[in-house]
């Protein structure tokens, strides 16, 4: 009998995280769902168990707190004895001009979007190394490859996550543990409703045109586990745009300037 893989998903109460937990459950995985809202997690648990009949472990977790991360990993090991997949999805958006971004707002964003992932990786990795297997998915962003006006602080956290992931992937070579950076573009979810706006009048959801669904991103995340690769763009055209931006940086800079000028006049 094939053992069901054990998957931890942070930020699982909404959007991409919720869709990712559902996708893994649909495929028969035992799912550990973590987020700050216990009520939302309980509703998701009932849905996953009724639809897919899988084992679900609920753990309230604020990734800014090392103690919460420790409890999440310990509860997973106590229940299942292993961790096969860690999806670092917890995060939120902060949008506005760099000069409008307060220090504390920036620090809080880093605590969740970057250091939260780092804490989870550090806590989970010893168990994956002991197993000799595992896969880590860090959910980044297309603006973690190319900055954009009004996205300075958010892009900075995602650029940092890109660098962290690239370094970690090299450090784990030969260990049996693989790492993937998933790069969503604009996604139609509660993400933008919960985002902090520090420059009045800016609407980040309008940034990159047509939005993808959380389910589309979740599909890419699950696929990356079965077919590990360094980076996955959930919108393939964005990979082309990134290559062009690297090849023609002046052109990419001009596009950013034009976007800013147009937005600043509205």
Active site residues: 154
Q: Which residues contact 236 (CB under 8 A, 6 or more apart)?
A: none
3-state DSSP assignment of residue 235 = coil
CB contact at 8 A, 104 and 110: no
| Alpha helix segments (H runs only) across the chain | 15-26, 38-52, 66-80, 103-110, 116-131, 152-171, 191-194, 214-226, 236-247, 249-264
Residue 132 in tokens: 């000799």
b/e 131-149 (16+ beta carbons within 10 angstroms → b): eeebbbbbbbbbbbbbbbb
């Amino acid at each position: 009998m094939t053992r069901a893989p054990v998957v931890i998903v942070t930020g699982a109460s909404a959007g991409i995280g919720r869709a990712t937990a559902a996708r893994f459950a649909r495929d028969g995985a035992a799912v550990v769902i973590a987020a700050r809202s216990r009520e939302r997690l309980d509703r998701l648990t009932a849905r996953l168990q009724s639809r897919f009949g899988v084992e679900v472990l609920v753990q309230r977790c604020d990734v800014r707190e090392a103690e919460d991360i420790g409890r999440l990993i310990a509860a997973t090991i106590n229940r299942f004895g292993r961790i096969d997949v860690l999806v670092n999805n917890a995060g939120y958006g902060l949008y506005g001009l760099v000069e409008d971004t307060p220090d504390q707002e920036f620090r809080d964003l880093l605590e969740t979007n970057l250091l939260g992932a780092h804490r989870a990786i550090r806590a989970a990795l010893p168990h994956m190394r002991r197993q000799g297997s595992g896969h880590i998915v860090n959910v980044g962003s297309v603006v973690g490859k190319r900055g954009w006006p009004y996205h300075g602080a958010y892009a900075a956290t995602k650029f940092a996550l890109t660098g962290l992931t690239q370094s970690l992937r090299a450090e784990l070579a030969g260990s049996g543990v693989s790492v993937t950076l998933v790069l969503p573009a604009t996604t139609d979810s509660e993400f933008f409703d919960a985002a902090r706006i520090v420059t009045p009048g800016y609407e980040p959801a309008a940034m990159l045109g047509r939005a993808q669904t959380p389910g589309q991103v979740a599909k890419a995340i699950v696929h990356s586990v079965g077919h590990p690769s360094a980076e996955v763009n959930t919108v393939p055209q964005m990979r082309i745009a990134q290559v062009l931006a690297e090849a023609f940086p002046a052109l990419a800079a001009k596009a950013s300037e034009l976007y800013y000028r147009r937005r600043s006049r509205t």
